[in-house]
Structure 1
Amino acid sequence: MRGTSSSPTKLLLIENDETDVLLFSRMLSECSGSFQLNVCDTLDAALRWLEEFECDIVLSDMSLPDTFGLEGITKIQERFPHLPIVMMTGLDDDEVALDALDLGAQDYLLKGDTTPRELKRTIRYAIQRKLIQCENARLVEKLKLAARMDALTGVLNRHAMLSEFEKHWAQACENQTPLSCVILDVDFFKRVNDEFGHVIGDKVLQRVAKLISTQMRCGDSIARYGGEEFCVILVDADEDVAAQWADRVRQRLAESPFQIPEGTIQITASFGVAHRCGETKTVEHLIDAADHALLEAKHDGRNRVARYSANAKRIAGDSGNSLLDLNALSICPVI
């Protein structure tokens, strides 16, 4: 939709009656403003034309050789949802007009009862209404996305995570496929905030979220679970696969010092892993199991991965000591 005061408004007229095409062309020439008219005599020809060329608005007859009634609106909308459509017919039927609007047409013109002035106004208003509708739809989608995302880190928020988890849980139960949950907590994060301020703390969380995201597989999901905790949903992953994934991320994080003006901060995290099994009967049970494993990892020294089972909590994978100790942060001067 590129028609402006400096460029012609491009119209596609879908009409197989040569007399009506001539009348429409004459009426358009009487309208003030600049218009570029293109004509197709069937809907199929129009759809092919639209694949190759751009236009600002489509005006279509309701009765065409390859379609009748309002079917054309649906077919155009399906493939070109951004285009405004004005339907034309010789039938003076208000119900049909309302049906056309309900299907997505911007307006409805009665052949033989339209003046050049009305035609110009209809074209202009139809284009403007469609622009407003498209912008409103874009804003709605933007708001929907914002409602699902954590504003600081750009990953899913807790509410959206639970919704994703329910979806993956249902699929795993139906297909009898594995599903795992990993919860991680940035070690001694409070000391980062206390020592360097919340601005640096926020940047650390953003860095952690970005690093985890680079390790995600297709279909997996990551969310900020709360504070400095993140939750990862691993689809088609049993406990062994999830523990290996978690330990790989743990190592990457420990090997990626965070640069600050004073030097570098070595950031580590503790990981709890749980998988869908007979003892985890709901999403809540699975998240709770991963959370219990996380507590075990922190209790056993941090910077490690712990698995959960119904009988015991055990450590799995290579583990190291937390690079942020209880007494002071490890600060390395910038070289």
Structure 2
Amino acid sequence: MNRASPLSILLVEDDPADARLVDLELRPYWERCRLRRCASMAEAQAWLKENACDVVLLDLSLPDSFGFDTIRKIHEAAPDIAVIVLTGFDDEDFAMRAVEAGTQDYLVKGNADGALMWRSIQHAVARKRMEEELRLAKQRLQAIIDLAHDAIIVMDEDSRMTLFNPAAERTFGYRAEEVLGRPVEMLMPERLRGMHADMVRGFGQASDPARMMGNRPELLARRSDGTEFPAEVAISKVDHPGGRLFTAVLRDISERKRTEEELRRLATTDPLTGVANRRHFLEAAAVELQRLRRYHRPAALLMLDIDFFKVINDGLGHAAGDLVLVAFALICRDSLRSADLIGRLGGEEFAVLLPETEMQGGVEVAERLRQRLADSPVDVGSGVARFTVSIGVAECRPTDESIEATLMRADRALYDAKRSGRNRVRVGTEEATG
């Protein structure tokens, strides 16, 4: 509404004397308002249907309408209009009931001079405008909450949920009515509930109003069926007269975690055999060497090379060679401990890291692998491929400057095995490095 435009005022009053009194009181303000009178509810409803109005001065005792139901009928005819009740009762309880029924103010007939009436009209119009803006803001906020793809959960100071949006229902498998009023910890795995409660209390005492928790190692949530999933959460807090409220925005990152895991697997795994690729193996072995230096724990390293692999490729084809490499990797993984790491360094050359293993233990593992691989022919479709391996064994030493020094000893032992006739195990010693 343009502030320069006169206010349109509808007086709904059946008593001519009371109507005349309102007209007289507002006469000093005629340049700033336009007054229209209706003597019944039916007349007022018909006029409002055809005309715009800023405020209604409403008598609650009309020939065709009485009491607070009169307010409802006016709002049905013009929902966005400001309403001031004209009453003969100067009663605070009545005033509160009138406001609760949807009015912006009330005036006692005979006690309201022109200045008071004009001020009440202006305030009622401004208040109605603010109420409408607040209603629209709430409506927009509710639409955002309802349409959000992320779960939005509001909880009170006792961690009891007061809001649970549709995305939260889809994420957790609960209906809002099933969780409202219940502790938010029900959405967490039981083993983590105490930790979560401590975290919320700590955040409540902190000075920051909001906090992202996506940088935590892992935040797990729990669905209604008991399944757990990784989540990313942002939490904020706000104080209001009813107490402090916490708002959590939660996103299920299961798919992202799967994608990250797949990318990690692709970055660290040999695509053909599924074992560690060269880079990942060397990085893991370097970490093991550092652990060995710090804690003085033993470790052994094996270098393995398939004997006469070129003959397999040339005689049976590269597809057959790939099948042999895959079978080789499967047999090795099946024969090793979960803590052991096998990697493909290139071509038909592999390495195995054996943590917590002395040299003698490494030789025994190598011999078992050699024998099992020799006894495991591979069906390659066009025939059966039999193969053997040569293995070099070296002990990881605290004095090794890098894991490459250990690899060099194992590699020289491997070639010693090949020079000695293949299909055998040799140990890397100082003499072997000359």
Structure 1 counterpart SS, 2:337: coil
Identify the residue that residue 277 of structure 2 maps to in structure 1. 157
C-alpha distance 71-217 of structure 1, shift in aligned 2 (>3 A): farther
C-alpha distance 261-79 of structure 1, shift in aligned 2 (>3 A): closer
Distance 2:263 2:398 in 1: 38
Number of residue-to-residue matches in the alignment: 253
Identify the residue that residue 89 of structure 1 maps to in structure 2. 238
Normalised by the size of structure 2, how large is the TM-score? Answer: 0.50
Distance 2:357 2:422 in 1: 24
AA in 2 matched with 1:209? A
C-alpha distance 192-86 of structure 1, shift in aligned 2 (>3 A): same
AA in 1 matched with 2:184? A
Identify the residue that residue 324 of structure 2 maps to in structure 1. 204
Distance 1:63 1:178 in 2: 44
Identify the residue that residue 182 of structure 1 maps to in structure 2. 302
Verify the 8 A CA contact 1:184 1:272 in the aligned structure 2: yes
Which of 245, 262, 267 is the equivalent residue of 1:142? 262
Identity across the alignment (%): 29
Structure 2 counterpart SS, 1:89: strand
Mapping 1:5-44, distance limit 5 Å: 13-15=154-156, 21=162, 36-37=176-177, 38-40=179-181
Verify the 8 A CA contact 2:210 2:234 in the aligned structure 1: no
Identify the residue that residue 287 of structure 1 maps to in structure 2. 407
| Structure 2: gaps (5+ residues) | 1-145, 191-198, 222-229, 241-245
Structure 1 counterpart SS, 2:423: coil
Q: How far apart are 1:237 and its partner, in Å?
A: 1.3
| Structure 1: gaps (5+ residues) | 53-61, 92-99, 107-125, 314-335
Verify the 8 A CA contact 1:258 1:266 in the aligned structure 2: yes
**RMSD across aligned positions (CA):** 4.0
Higher relative contact order (CA 8 A, sep 6+): 1
Distance 2:281 2:343 in 1: 6
Structure 2 counterpart SS, 1:193: helix
Identify the residue that residue 113 of structure 1 maps to in structure 2. none
C-alpha distance 66-309 of structure 1, shift in aligned 2 (>3 A): closer
Identify the residue that residue 368 of structure 2 maps to in structure 1. 248
Which of 216, 219, 225 is the equivalent residue of 1:78? 219
Identify the residue that residue 184 of structure 2 maps to in structure 1. 46
Structure 2 counterpart SS, 1:251: helix
Identify the residue that residue 224 of structure 1 maps to in structure 2. 344
Mapping 1:43-122, distance limit 5 Å: 45-48=183-186, 50-51=188-189, 67-68=204-205, 78-80=219-221, 81-82=230-231, 87=236, 89-90=238-239, 106=249
Structure 2 counterpart SS, 1:183: strand
Normalised by the size of structure 1, how large is the TM-score? Answer: 0.64
Structure 1 counterpart SS, 2:321: helix
Structure 1 counterpart SS, 2:416: helix
C-alpha distance 277-13 of structure 1, shift in aligned 2 (>3 A): closer
AA in 2 matched with 1:258? V
Verify the 8 A CA contact 2:391 2:414 in the aligned structure 1: yes
Distance 2:260 2:304 in 1: 32
Which of 228, 240, 261 is the equivalent residue of 2:381? 261
Identify the residue that residue 238 of structure 1 maps to in structure 2. 358
Q: Deviations over 1:86-134 (max 9, x none)?
A: 646347xxxxxxxx99xxx54xxxxxxxxxxxxxxxxxxx6xxx24x54
C-alpha distance 239-65 of structure 1, shift in aligned 2 (>3 A): closer
Q: How far apart are 1:74 and its partner, in Å?
A: 5.1
